[in-house]
Amino acid sequence: MKRTKHLRLGFFIGLITISFNATSQTNAKESKMRGQGIYDTNCVTCHMANGEGITGAFPPLAKSDYLMADTERSIKTILEGANGAMKVNGTTYYGAMVAYNTLTDQDIADVLNYIRNSWGNEGDVIEAKAVAKLRQ
Ligand code: HEC
Nearest CA to ligand 1 atom 33: 43
Summarize the confidence of residues 81-104 as an average pLDDT: 97
Nearest CA to ligand 1 atom 34: 43
- Any idea which of 8-22, 36-50, 63-77 has the lowest mean pLDDT? 8-22
- Model pLDDT, residue 96: 96
Q: Which of 18, 14, 88 is nearest to 54 (CA)?
A: 88
Structure confidence at residue 22 as a pLDDT band (50, 70, 90): confident
Nearest CA to ligand 1 atom 27: 67
Q: What sign for the dihedral angle of Cα 87, 88, 94, 100? A: negative
- Model pLDDT, residue 102: 98
Task: Say if ligand 1 is within 6 A of residue 59 CB.
Answer: yes
